[in-house]
Structure 1
Amino acid sequence: MVDLIEIMSPAMPSFGEFLRHLRDERSLSREGLARSAGVSASYINHLEIGRRDHPTRPIVEALAGNLERALPLSQDERRYLFDLAGLPDIEVPEVADLRADISPEMLRRIDRCGSDPAGYFDLRWNILALNDAAHQAFPGLREIGNVMHWLLSDGRSGAVLAEHDLVVESAVAALRARIALPCNAVWAGQLLADLCRYPEFAGRWAAGRVAYSLAQPAVRLRDRVSGKLFRLDLQLYDVDTARHPGWTRMFWGIGAR
């Protein structure tokens, strides 16, 4: 007779379970963690057994800080602790911080695209990195450092983009979609005020078009040397990082010359 082995379903991750794991890993007692975090040991116990599942941000910050003092938390561990508490990161990173997140491997990834333009940008359309093909295809973009400002202020964008107006319309519609979440209001107001000084942007914004998917899946570019038109099929990817989740995207233009 074949023995039947009961297969246990894995438990869903929880804030309390992960807090207990981090505390045990550091050989911290509930009392020790509680005392240094400014809460009671019974509160720590309630968190760990699931009787309290919505700690506030200041409490999670205090717990993370005291765990950190015993043994450094990795960026992934810190983010996971806050994600399990239902507290996504609302900090608005500086462009320099996001550029610092672009690792050598990420740079190699866009370099491997060869003659296809590729790069990284953030939610505000700030350029974080470009490969050489993108630098050649979009003159001035690296220097200006922001896709929207390049489209609206640099005449070279109109020279290389055969359907410049459609690209601007798509970029504005995508921006409207991206800033819909309440947490994005922290940076969105300043960005909109900055962009509305361009009449073209103000008119497009007032039209109210919104696009979550890629509104312009392909663009036609004009070769700067020959003047010949060629098509770029655009692919966009969210690129997650532990330090600044949800902020970085990659583009890859697959071209046919």
Structure 2
Amino acid sequence: MHSDQLRLIVTSETSAAARHRRAQLSDFLRIRRARLAPADVGLVTAGRRRTPGLRREEVAVLAAVGVSWYTWLEQGRDINVSAEVVDAVGKALRLSTAERAHLYALAGLRPPCADLRADRGAAVTPELRQLLDGWSPRPAVLRDRHWNLLAVNDAAAAIYGYGPEDHNCLVTFFTSARHRDAHLHWAAVAPAVVAAFRADVAHAPDDPEYRRVVDELNAVSPEFAELWARHDVQVPGQMVKAVRHPEAGELFFDTTSLAVVDHPAWILELSNPRPGTGTAERLHTR
């Protein structure tokens, strides 16, 4: 097949996908507009209406956009759409966070990052605590995006050396002698740990909580300061944790980090005994 023919096929498929997306956008806006009554958005109307919901011109006024432009948007026409306008339309239609992200996607834009501030101070749910406790005798840790510890199960406390005074994974890693002694290859994994934290900071470099953690460690840990100055970045992923337990001996875990869907700023770290290391057998005998 000639390259020109292939290019035409690709273009046709892309155009078809865009038309399908705009058709879904049209349906979504129309249905969401129909579910709102004028009184829901503070509008006063007189007389009876033939159709339920808001009119297009009312949504346009609430969103501070032109009536013709909003009409074209709801009709699924191929027009340029900005994030600011999508936000305004989403607010006018009283969309939820999930609906707002959906509107972004249908408009051909990257959905905004979730407002991670909403999770600050939120209590750990009983369901998550039950999951952590049920994971024993394997270690399980729940932390936030700043690596602040939210909850650990008994296995994580005993095996990784977390105590009641520990409040941040990274701070504990560099300042706790007990935690350091528990790791078989602490010096070897330290650069990767800092590089993974640097990757997380890159998502919100002006976040004051990130700055607080970095400033605290720079002040008390020369090892962290030296590694932080390297500016190495490594996306966190699957990792192997090797630890030494005073009773069970050397233990090796495959650790996976999972996002908590209903709390975007929370990360669940679950550790499983690494096959072939005898860790599973020693866990049950400690």
SS in 1 for 2:184: coil
Contact conserved, 1:117 with 1:252, CA < 8 A, in 2? Answer: yes
**TM-aligned CA deviation for residue 149 of structure 1:** 0.7
Match of 1:201 in 2: 224
Match of 2:149 in 1: 127
**TM-aligned CA deviation for residue 171 of structure 1:** 1.0
> What is the aligned counterpart of 2:233 among 194, 207, 210?
210
Alignment of 1:24-103 (within 5 A): 24-26=34-36, 27-48=53-74, 49-57=76-84, 59-68=85-94, 73-84=95-106, 85-89=109-113, 91-93=115-117, 96-97=120-121, 99-100=122-123, 102-103=124-125
Q: Does 1:11 align with 2:29?
A: no
**TM-aligned CA deviation for residue 250 of structure 1:** 1.8
Match of 1:174 in 2: 196
**TM-aligned CA deviation for residue 159 of structure 1:** 2.6
Bigger Rg, which one? 2
Paired with 2:175 and 2:118, the residues of 1 have a C-alpha distance of 23
Contact conserved, 1:54 with 1:86, CA < 8 A, in 2? Answer: no
Match of 1:249 in 2: 267
**TM-aligned CA deviation for residue 148 of structure 1:** 0.6
> Residues 141 and 38 of structure 1: is their aligned pair in 2 closer, same or farther, counting only changes over 3 Å?
farther
Match of 2:33 in 1: 23
> Residues 202 and 229 of structure 1: is their aligned pair in 2 closer, same or farther, counting only changes over 3 Å?
same
Paired with 2:161 and 2:198, the residues of 1 have a C-alpha distance of 26
Q: What amino acid maps onto 1:22 in structure 2?
A: R
Contact conserved, 1:92 with 1:186, CA < 8 A, in 2? Answer: no
The runs of 5 or more residues in structure 1 that have no matched partner are 1-7
> Residues 192 and 80 of structure 1: is their aligned pair in 2 closer, same or farther, counting only changes over 3 Å?
farther
> Residues 62 and 157 of structure 1: is their aligned pair in 2 closer, same or farther, counting only changes over 3 Å?
same
SS in 2 for 1:112: helix
Match of 1:3 in 2: none
Paired with 2:63 and 2:192, the residues of 1 have a C-alpha distance of 48
> Residues 142 and 121 of structure 1: is their aligned pair in 2 closer, same or farther, counting only changes over 3 Å?
farther
Q: What amino acid maps onto 1:52 in structure 2?
A: I
Q: Does 1:185 align with 2:200?
A: no
The runs of 5 or more residues in structure 2 that have no matched partner are 1-15, 37-52, 274-278
> Residues 94 and 74 of structure 1: is their aligned pair in 2 closer, same or farther, counting only changes over 3 Å?
closer
Tell me the percent identity: 26
Match of 2:49 in 1: none
**TM-aligned CA deviation for residue 31 of structure 1:** 1.3
Q: What amino acid maps onto 2:154 in structure 1?
A: D
**TM-aligned CA deviation for residue 157 of structure 1:** 0.9
Paired with 1:142 and 1:43, the residues of 2 have a C-alpha distance of 58
SS in 2 for 1:111: helix
Task: Give the alignment's Cα RMSD to 1 decimal.
Answer: 3.1
> Residues 210 and 55 of structure 1: is their aligned pair in 2 closer, same or farther, counting only changes over 3 Å?
closer
Paired with 2:147 and 2:125, the residues of 1 have a C-alpha distance of 19
> Residues 107 and 158 of structure 1: is their aligned pair in 2 closer, same or farther, counting only changes over 3 Å?
same
Deviations 1:158-214 (A, max 9, x none): 232222223322210212233344xx2222555433432221111112334332253
